[in-house]
Amino acid sequence: MRIVISTVFVILLVSIAQAGIFTTSPISSTVWKAETAQTVTWINAKNPPLAQLTNVKIDLLTGPEEKNIFLMTIGTGVKGTALKFVFKKGVPKNLGPSGQFYFLKFTDGDFAAFSARFTITGIDGTIAGFDPNNPNGNNSTAGNSTGTDPYGNGGSTGGSTGGSTGGDSSGGSSGSSTSSTSSTTATGTSSGSKPNNTNKAAAGSASSLSTVHVATFVIALVGMVISNWM
């Protein structure tokens, strides 16, 4: 009986320890420069287990929480267990206006997770229906004015690993981001949440990781008590 109970709790602990995508770069203080390679990193957050995320697509978006505007796909076929993705080509200069308007969306089937809003500089394009002076306003469109090839050079957008777009997902650790940041604290957003509007909101989302750790401890403690009682 004790063996059965112990096995059940081990399974529960594993399901909590393995979780969805929690972005560690970019975060709210991150600055991406146009046409510069960037590294996207993440750690475990909430369910599903990272091992189940085998075909993650990473999109770059802007706009308000309720009406996101798709700009471009920076990676496809990324494995959740890779914990990082290198966006080799960087963002094109005609992507849109410079500012802290941008965020990443990770999807794989029904799964979705967002990064915090971060800054992109060195770009001077426009986005139809998007007002940079009112980035959280009710924008009128959801698309990219730069078209299907935002780089405008007709070149390939293929990557070297995992069927990626403009980058690769090689490496099994989170590593260090090539993005310029003022903080190394993991303050991204957890799976299933919306992108953050402010730096303060981004920092608060890290509490989801603490909740996971507390839940893990409680389950382990209860399992020990029940096993001893039986």
Residues 54, 139 contacting (CB under 8 angstroms): no
CA-closest candidate to residue 28, choices 155, 153, 205, 229: 205
Query: What pLDDT is stored for residue 118 in this prediction?
Result: 98
Joined together, the tokens standing for residue 228 give 């001893």
Query: What pLDDT is stored for residue 131 in this prediction?
Result: 86
Query: How many domains in the chain?
Result: 1
The tens digit of pLDDT for each residue in 180-200 reads 333 333 344 444 556 654 333
The tens digit of pLDDT for each residue in 97-150 reads 999 999 999 999 999 999 999 999 999 999 988 888 888 776 554 444 333 445
Joined together, the tokens standing for residue 9 give 């709790």
The whole domain housing 157 covers 2-229
The tens digit of pLDDT for each residue in 60-69 reads 999 988 889 9
Q: Are strands 167-168 and 97-108 parallel, antiparallel or unpaired?
A: unpaired
- Residue corresponding to tokens 């975060």: 27
Q: Which of 2-16, 26-40, 89-103 has the lowest mean pLDDT?
A: 2-16
Task: Please tell me the pTM assigned to this model.
Answer: 0.62
